[in-house]
Structure 1
Amino acid sequence: MNLTKSAVLAVTIFIIVLSHVNCQSKDETTTTNPETPKEKTKVKDSKLCSKCTCDFDNNLLDCAEKLQDWLSSEEWQILTNGDFVFKTINLEHNNLTSVPILPKYDVENLYLANNQIDSIAEGAFQNLTELSTLDLSHNRLTSKVLVPDVFKGPYTVNDFAALEKLKTLNLGYNDLHSLDADLFEHIPNIEELILCSNTFHVIDRLSETAISGLLSLKILDVSYMEIDDLPDTILHGPRDLETLIAAGNLFHKLPKALERATNLTSLVLNQNPIENLVEDNVFPSLTKLTHLSMTFMSKLYKIGPGAFSELQSLTELILSDSKLLNEIDGEALSKNVTGGQYLDYPPLEKVYLNNCNISTLPKELLVRWDKLKALDLRFNPWNCDDSNDYLINVLIEQVNKTTSILAKNVQCSTPNELKDVEVLRVANENLIGSSGSIIWVGLLVILLIAIPTIIGAYVMKRRGCFGVFRRHDSGASSALYNRTSFNEDFHI
């Protein structure tokens, strides 16, 4: 009996052990044989590429003007499960009206410009964690629609993460008049912000807070916003700002905010109603500025001494198409940096003064004119007398050697006998001296005609030939007319 119990116990133990071994074997089989991965969709052969342009060489999916609405679920599935990842997706000109929460995809550049977008879902871009460029320009976005959570990133345990890779945001040509103070809290690494052609009228405190908080900002476009100034501290935060575009606004004076843009390298102030650059309305110290453009300045008439003196790194100066600009002071660029007897000048390479109202160019405006690679003086009313000796005898020849096309249409306006004559011709033919000679030649011709006539008249009077003289008055007049005609043909 005891033997039987022992045998039963042994058998039971054996079964339990065997069962445990079998279970372990099944577990090992499960872990060593994972599921077969889902086969990737061949994007090149998909319906999406027959509907849109798939440019594989440039990593571009171009659906501009090809959609009636957003991509369908099936089309997104082709992308998210495809064997190729497009780095750029272009959805412009499709009359899209809203932006939903987009599926997870590693797109880097998304273009949604020129649609009718007037609403964006919160977290619309949270699944696009590789997004670097987002273009929402030329839509119908309002300040009410554009709230901070629109740009929030993927959800984490504690909160929503930031879209840290987003560097360029284009909000131009919308219906914005202000920015939420926290608009960029989820996209703190923005380097390029475009706000152009939104009628702000004034950059209020909330907008100033939003922009000044972008510490990585390098390019800021606030052009055509109908603003008459920039808040003094708007550029206090983005100390790395390199390019500021503020064209087409209502600035009557240079914004004081420029004083804080110490790392600025390029500044565009075209089409602002600034009347002059004199006294306290001159540029502050911008030691890294190399490019300055002030074109189509409809009211600018004078550039005074010291206007550009604090821009000692300037290599390109564009002042063209300012129809009232008639005076540039000879000390507009110079600065006495060392306190010695010599002045310092910026290393200018390109100067554009075309289509203005300038008649005289001071030699002392720039010492090293020979360093210029381009000097555009065309379409100005140049004075071609001794007051412009340096332009006529030195500069125009240099322009002709470096860029001959820029030597054409540099024409004299005065004196009258040289009007519309090219300055290069005046230089080559030494006409600047001839203009005075013409007068003397004319006087000489008159004397040569007048003296014999007077003598002849006297002789005829003594001989009593006045009657004959009267009878032939018309002939004499004709003769005098012919001689005068010869004199009039003697011109340049």
Structure 2
Amino acid sequence: MKLKAILVFLFLVVGLIYGDEKATKTSKAKESSEICKKCKCNPDEKVINCSKKGLTKMFTVDDWSALEEVGDEYEILRMDHNLLDEIDVPFPTLKSALKIIDFSHNKIKKIVKNAFTNLSYVEEIDLSYNDIPTEALKPNVFEGKYSADEYEPIKTLKILKLSFNLLHNFDDDIFEHVMHLQELHLDNNPLQVIHPSLMSAFSDIPQLTYLNLSRCELKELPDSIFHPFKALKVLDLQGNLFENVPTKALYYAKNVRELYLDDCPIGDLNEKNSFPVMPNLEKLSMTYMQKLRKISHGAFAGLEKLKELRLSNNHHLSSIEDTAFTFKKDDETETIWPPLRKLSLDNNNLTTLTSDVFIKWEEMEELHLHDNPWICDCELNYVLSHLMPIVNRTTPHLIEHIKCAEPPAYKDRQLMELKNEDYHLRCLDKYGRHPENDSALLVALLIGVLLGIPLTFACILIFKRLFGERKGAAKYSRAFYKRADMQDDMHI
């Protein structure tokens, strides 16, 4: 026991000494380094946090040397939300293996040559939310160190964020030093057109798995734009100005698994305005599409592996045909549906949904049908009897928002309530009359008949009483009347 107590005591003493030494080092760093005076240096989390410090200048080589004398290592540098208007000093060679550098939300307009050359471990550079114009972004900005295999590469850089700048085009060699990029964010730049130089630049980053071209004011895409990207898995095109599905361009996105086309003015989907064969697409999002009204035959026929579909907040979408998703494989006659597991049809203008839109509803993991103006007639019986239990199982917190809009007798009734009450919805007739009002009409008619019969007899009796005696007197007087002969008239 004594030995154990001594060991515990020694351990605590060593810990305190080590902690004091570490605290002393950190304190010295703060005293000697301009960086830690202006920023929060946290060696435990390996973060230098200079966010929102009002910085207007980059740190110098001497600033970095003073910090490194202490011996602490850092992996993350946050320079976001400052007032930097340029990166005018290249990073020096550092002992710290900086992996993430965040320059977002500044006012950067210029970047010096070889700005990141000495960062041998950098994996992510964020230059988004700045004022970088096309002219300031040159290939030499991303030059790395000499390599016998590649042209001055920054081999470790995997993520480059250039979102929300003033880029309308790119140098065709802009990515020649960062050929191992896996994520590229170009969204919210005023590209308007994909120029040949950008197409050429794309050919230098064949390992790209994520590409964000959202809200770049693009009306169309070159047919072969995605041809270099054999590894592309996620493609974000939302918020552009496409009036039709960019079918020809998507044809080359063979390995894309997630596609986002939200908030595009794409019109009705049909065989002519449809998706090409995308054999690996598993997730498709098409929300806030104000011109989408109808989804017809063959619209999604090329998406045979689709597992998740978001068709929400399309406020004019009122119709989805049964054959919109079906397809047939070569030399086969059997109709096939995609293996959907998550389906969002909420906040649209849907009034009905037939059972044949999909075939294996029971395999759904999520089903969103809320906030649609459902017409609760016989065509909705399948939704009531089969789909409501699935909704109740997958998204029960939203079930109270699935309500009838018509007919008047069911208006604002929850479909789940009707299901629980074992309702069987009736059909409206071809003239639009509402059969749910038939019972009231028949009762009113029966009451009218029952009241009408005694009233009719009463009217007859009153009529006879008033006019019957006069008519009898006339008959009586005529019985004793005899017309005079012609001879009698002559005697007069």
TM range (shorter): 0.7 to 0.9
- How far the C-alpha of 1:254 sits from its partner, in A, is 1.6
Q: Please state if 1:205 is matched with 2:203.
A: no
Residue 120 (structure 2) aligns with:
129
- How far the C-alpha of 1:51 sits from its partner, in A, is 3.5
Change (3 A) 1:276 1:167: same
Q: Please state if 1:409 is matched with 2:392.
A: no
Greater mean deviation of Cα atoms: 280-289 or 130-139: 280-289
Change (3 A) 1:57 1:280: farther
State the Cα RMSD in Å. Answer: 2.2
2:59 pairs with one of 53, 62, 71: 71
Once residues 256 and 148 of structure 2 are traced to their aligned partners in structure 1, the CA distance between those partners, rounded to angstroms, is 40
- How far the C-alpha of 1:266 sits from its partner, in A, is 0.5
Once residues 328 and 459 of structure 2 are traced to their aligned partners in structure 1, the CA distance between those partners, rounded to angstroms, is 76
- How far the C-alpha of 1:457 sits from its partner, in A, is 2.3
Q: Please state if 1:422 is matched with 2:414.
A: yes
Change (3 A) 1:437 1:359: closer
Residue 3 (structure 1) aligns with:
none
Residue 376 (structure 1) aligns with:
368
1:46 pairs with one of 29, 35, 54: 29
Amino acid at match of 2:207: S
Once residues 186 and 59 of structure 1 are traced to their aligned partners in structure 2, the CA distance between those partners, rounded to angstroms, is 27
- Assess if the C-alpha contact under 8 Å between 1:213 and 1:238 holds in 2: no
1:177 pairs with one of 168, 187, 190: 168
Residue 28 (structure 1) aligns with:
none
Report how many aligned residue pairs link the two structures.
425
Amino acid at match of 1:96: L
Structure 1 consecutive aligned stretches of length 4 or more whose deviation exceeds 6 Å: 156-160, 434-437
For the residue of structure 2 that corresponds to 1:334, the secondary structure is coil
- How far the C-alpha of 1:322 sits from its partner, in A, is 0.5
Residue 106 (structure 2) aligns with:
115
The C-alpha deviation readout for 1:425-451, integer Å capped at 9, x for no partner, is 222224444797743321232134212
- Assess if the C-alpha contact under 8 Å between 1:118 and 1:140 holds in 2: yes
Once residues 104 and 425 of structure 2 are traced to their aligned partners in structure 1, the CA distance between those partners, rounded to angstroms, is 61
- Assess if the C-alpha contact under 8 Å between 2:376 and 2:425 holds in 1: no
Once residues 426 and 150 of structure 2 are traced to their aligned partners in structure 1, the CA distance between those partners, rounded to angstroms, is 84
The C-alpha deviation readout for 1:76-133, integer Å capped at 9, x for no partner, is 1233334121111000011111112111122111000000100011111111121110
- Assess if the C-alpha contact under 8 Å between 2:61 and 2:91 holds in 1: no
Change (3 A) 1:52 1:434: same
Residue 455 (structure 1) aligns with:
453
Amino acid at match of 2:372: N
Q: Which runs of 5+ in 1 are unaligned?
A: 1-40, 466-492
1:351 pairs with one of 343, 351, 354: 343
Residue 263 (structure 1) aligns with:
255
Residue 476 (structure 1) aligns with:
none
For the residue of structure 2 that corresponds to 1:413, the secondary structure is strand
Once residues 149 and 304 of structure 2 are traced to their aligned partners in structure 1, the CA distance between those partners, rounded to angstroms, is 51
Pairs within 5 Å for 1:217-256: 217-255=208-246, 256=248
2:443 pairs with one of 439, 442, 445: 445
Q: Percent identity?
A: 33
Once residues 356 and 156 of structure 1 are traced to their aligned partners in structure 2, the CA distance between those partners, rounded to angstroms, is 56
Change (3 A) 1:132 1:159: closer
TM-score scaled by length of structure 2: 0.82
For the residue of structure 1 that corresponds to 2:211, the secondary structure is strand
Change (3 A) 1:274 1:422: same
For the residue of structure 2 that corresponds to 1:358, the secondary structure is coil
- Assess if the C-alpha contact under 8 Å between 2:48 and 2:74 holds in 1: yes
